Amino acid sequence: MMDRTGGATGHDSPSRHAMGERSVPLSMSRRGLLRTALAGLAGGGALASAHAARAQSQPAAISTTAGAYVPRPPAAQYRFRVGATRLDPTGRKPVPGITVNGQYPGPEIRVREGTMLRVEAENTLADQPTAIHWHGLLLPAAMDGVPDVSGPTIAPRRIFVYEYPVRQSGTYWYHSHWQLQEQIGLAGPFVIEAKDEPLRVDHDVVVMLGDWLYTSPYAVLESLRKGPAKAAGMKGGEMKSGDATSGGMKTGGAMAGDMKADLADVTYDAFLLNGRSPQNPWTLGARAGARIRLRIINAGASTYFRLRLDGHPLTITHADGLAIEPVTVDHLLMGMAETYDALVTLSGSGSYTLHAVAMDGSGQAVGVLHTPDVVPRPNLAMPPLEGRALDYRDLRSAAPTTLPGGPVRPFTLALGGDMARYVWTVGGQEYPKADPLVIRQGDRVQIEMQNQTTMWHPMHLHGHFFRVLQGAGERAPLKHTVNVPPRETVRIEFTADNPGRWIFHCHNLYHLDAGMARVFEYEA
Ligand SMILES: [Cu+2]
């Protein structure tokens, strides 16, 4: 049932084989060896917290003499080496990257719901920390991977062991939460197969979208900070998107007062699908009539994509990992960090291009689905984006999502920006110079976001799913990332049921770096 050949991010990753662990608990001797090995490499603090986490989340190893037998969940283990490498996904210009195990995208994590997941993350970088965030995962805050907020910062040449039970299913991803590492390669897919999967498909594949620069994103951010008047090589007011020949910034229009929507900050050199450029695209061979589940992840750092498959509608079955009432559309818009699962049935012999068009029209990423009798041939023409588009009002959860009663804790948060200084704010404050948003366990937290800017902001909450209140009543969809369109207001609510400190931020990487975040903090 599972496709083992089509995915560029195929699940037979060397990292897993190297450890030789898939669904069996670690043996005692192996654990001992690992401890010894790790102790030699790791900083005491990181290791101590890893052990503490394991002590909390896993029962003790089986005793041969006395005591009750405590069954453990199946375990899966991955070894991530975060390191510097050169990447050249387009074959045109190698640039410095930071990846997991030298790969971009990073190795696919694919586990079953109910698994105890363990990821040994070794930071081999000499000059900078790292931190890995498991996007959309419901886990303890100590494993969440956000420096200064939740999980640890992994110092250079240190190891941290992430370990937590996987208690959900669906399509997710992981990425660095340290500075701009996500933009230069530190991201990968994270698939959790459901315990009871109702969908029967012939192929189950990840489609991970990305945006790519030939220049350093730190230089781009610096240009953005210098402001429109000072930055060189940026997109000026009279130029069209894509006029700039190399990566750089775009200007104008993001401030209150200018009513025109501004679709992107950054001019990209390429858009990628499963790490590949349109000239050398990812392909999947499948027979006519095959049912394919596309697990689509927008891992772009600051690009909204419109998706469309030539000649086929897309039946959307899951949003942000969770089942919705299936809805069939011709195309859909995806914000950064959103995921959608789409079912496709190949209509007949042929080569069909999956287009992911950057919202500002400056380019596209493509992949090709084809039958075995046909050579895969990417259609590089920009696709028509006609017919039915997915709308948030189409999203209805497969099951009721009504929250338990609880004291209502309301927040009204303006999403703002100051382009002159390139500062972005939530509730008028610029993170990290921002007050925590205090909540209490059991609260029904209601947030109204008022976008006062002319840009789109995909707002992401860690550690929780929230209901998007847009008219679906008890079937309001649960999401971890919600698009707030320019000048619009979006309401969400969630039950405070996962104590800790959790970041809530715009998933435009440049907006995040420029202050667009706040921390929800549980009162002790
Ligand atoms: Cu934003």
- How far, in Å, is the centroid of ligand 1 from the Cα of 459? 7
- How far, in Å, is the centroid of ligand 1 from the Cα of 455? 7
Those residues of the chain that have pLDDT short of 50 are 1-63, 229-259
Q: What is the pLDDT of residues 274-316, one digit of tens each?
A: 999 999 999 999 999 999 999 999 999 999 999 999 999 999 9
512 and 421 in a single domain? The answer is yes
- How far, in Å, is the centroid of ligand 1 from the Cα of 79? 32
Residue 337 within a domain: yes
Length of the chain: 524
- How far, in Å, is the centroid of ligand 1 from the Cα of 508? 5
Q: What is the pLDDT of residues 14-26, one digit of tens each?
A: 333 333 333 333 3
Residue 202 within a domain: no
Token pair belonging to 14: 């060397």
**CATH code of the domain containing 358:** 2.60.40.420
319 and 291 in a single domain? The answer is yes
- How far, in Å, is the centroid of ligand 1 from the Cα of 255? 12
Residue 153 within a domain: yes
Predicted TM-score of the model (pTM): 0.84
414 and 370 in a single domain? The answer is no
Residue 139 within a domain: yes
Query: Which ranges constitute the DSSP H helices of 42-103?
Result: 44-57
Boundary-marking domain end, from 170, 197, 224: 197
Residue 457 within a domain: yes
- How far, in Å, is the centroid of ligand 1 from the Cα of 449? 12
- How far, in Å, is the centroid of ligand 1 from the Cα of 252? 15
List the beta bridge partners of residue 393. Answer: none
- How far, in Å, is the centroid of ligand 1 from the Cα of 220? 16
Residue 220 within a domain: no
| Residue 496 domain boundaries | 408-522
- How far, in Å, is the centroid of ligand 1 from the Cα of 315? 28
- How far, in Å, is the centroid of ligand 1 from the Cα of 187? 19
431 and 328 in a single domain? The answer is no
- How far, in Å, is the centroid of ligand 1 from the Cα of 487? 13
Residue 397 within a domain: no
Boundary-marking domain end, from 390, 421, 444: 390
46 and 153 in a single domain? The answer is yes
330 and 451 in a single domain? The answer is no
- How far, in Å, is the centroid of ligand 1 from the Cα of 261? 13
189 and 281 in a single domain? The answer is no
CA dihedral of residues 266, 272, 276, 278 (deg, nearest 10): -100
Distance CA 26, CA 19 (A): 10
Distance CA 249, CA 262 (A): 12
Q: State which residues have CB under 5 angstroms from ligand 1, the bound ion.
A: 457, 506, 508, 511
- How far, in Å, is the centroid of ligand 1 from the Cα of 269? 21
- How far, in Å, is the centroid of ligand 1 from the Cα of 91? 31
189 and 314 in a single domain? The answer is no
- How far, in Å, is the centroid of ligand 1 from the Cα of 425? 9
Where does 281-370 show beta strands of DSSP type E?
Answer: 282-285, 291-298, 305-309, 314-319, 322-329, 332-334, 339-345, 351-358, 364-370
Distance CA 511, CA 266 (A): 11
Q: Is 70 left (phi over 0), alpha (psi -120 to 50) or beta?
A: beta
Boundary-marking domain end, from 390, 423, 454: 390
Please state the domain count of the chain.
Answer: 3
415 and 378 in a single domain? The answer is no
Residue 462 within a domain: yes
Strands ordered across the beta sheet of 314-319: 270-273, 203-212, 291-298, 339-345, 314-319, 322-329
pLDDT score, position 419: 81
25 and 65 in a single domain? The answer is yes
Token pair belonging to 115: 């698994």
* Distance (Å) of CA 444 to CA 472, 496, 497: 18, 6, 9
374 and 413 in a single domain? The answer is no
- How far, in Å, is the centroid of ligand 1 from the Cα of 427? 13
509 and 457 in a single domain? The answer is yes
Q: Which of 510, 494, 490, 388 shows the shortest CA–CA distance to 448?
A: 490
